[in-house]
Chains A and B, each alone.
Chain A
Amino acid sequence: SQQGEEDPQALSIQEGENATMNCSYKTSINNLQWYRQNSGRGLVHLILIRSNEREKHSGRLRVTLDTSKKSSSLLITASRAADTASYFCATRGGGFKTIFGAGTRLFVKA
């Protein structure tokens, strides 16, 4: 079963615009991760935020975490056509099982 729910399910923007994706989860977590998947390929880890962190940056990526609301957001700034992919949040609780959400499909138009 999947713990996270991403919102929106799909997002279409113009190159250069910012893309924001949200993730909500249900149980307490140790950390939250975001992954990217190009069509028909495996997933690639983007960024991890621990439960005691509120915000993290990596290049054009900014992740926030609100544990009181059990939610996270991923912001991609100055998007490029190459950012077109599916983006998944994944949560890890006290064990070592990582649970993925259903994903947001991002389409960046050149």
Chain B
Amino acid sequence: DTGVSQDPRHKITKRGQNVTFRCDPISEHNRLYWYRQTLGQGPEFLTYFQNEAQLEKSRLLSDRFSAERPKGSFSTLEIQRTEQGDSAMYLCASSTTGDTGELFFGEGSRLTVL
């Protein structure tokens, strides 16, 4: 068990470009979450999956954001036409289907939009 891994750890892009982040959860975890965190704030919920089904999506997530988990394993978060306000840390977490819901986080992908 290598924990939750995220790639890339850092991404610098120009405004208007598309970016994609990948998350590999802990192998036996079937719930996967995406959060966004800006400096000095707590993680903001974006979306979560149970297996391959996307069960909830925050209203914070504009149409420029899309997340997938095609085979119920790894997930991708794509941001199209990035804006400077998208600059943040994007955190992925996974959990089992047990009722406690303890989240295991990756180290995050930091996005800087110039």
Q: Residue A43 contacts which of B31, B48, B50, B103 (CB distance < 8 angstroms)? A: B103
Q: Is the CB of B101 within 8 A of A43?
A: no
Q: Residue B100 contacts which of A48, A97, A103 (CB distance < 8 angstroms)? A: A48
| Interface bin, chain B | 20 to 34
Kindly state the separation between the CA atoms of A1 and B60 in the bound complex, as whole angstroms.
8
Q: Is A33 an interface residue (CB 8 A)?
A: yes
Kindly state the separation between the CA atoms of A79 and B107 in the bound complex, as whole angstroms.
25
Residues of chain B within 8 A of A102, CB atoms compared: 40-42
Q: Is A82 an interface residue (CB 8 A)?
A: no
Residues of chain A within 8 A of B48, CB atoms compared: 96-97
Kindly state the separation between the CA atoms of A46 and B99 in the bound complex, as whole angstroms.
17
Q: Is the CB of A43 within 8 A of B102?
A: no
A binding-site residues for B, Cβ under 8 Å: 1-2, 4, 30-31, 33, 35, 40-45, 48, 88, 90, 92, 95-103
| 15 A–B pairs (Cβ distance < 8 Å), ordered by A | A2-B42, A33-B101, A42-B93, A42-B105, A43-B43, A43-B91, A43-B103, A44-B105, A45-B103, A88-B43, A96-B31, A96-B50, A96-B56, A100-B42, A100-B43
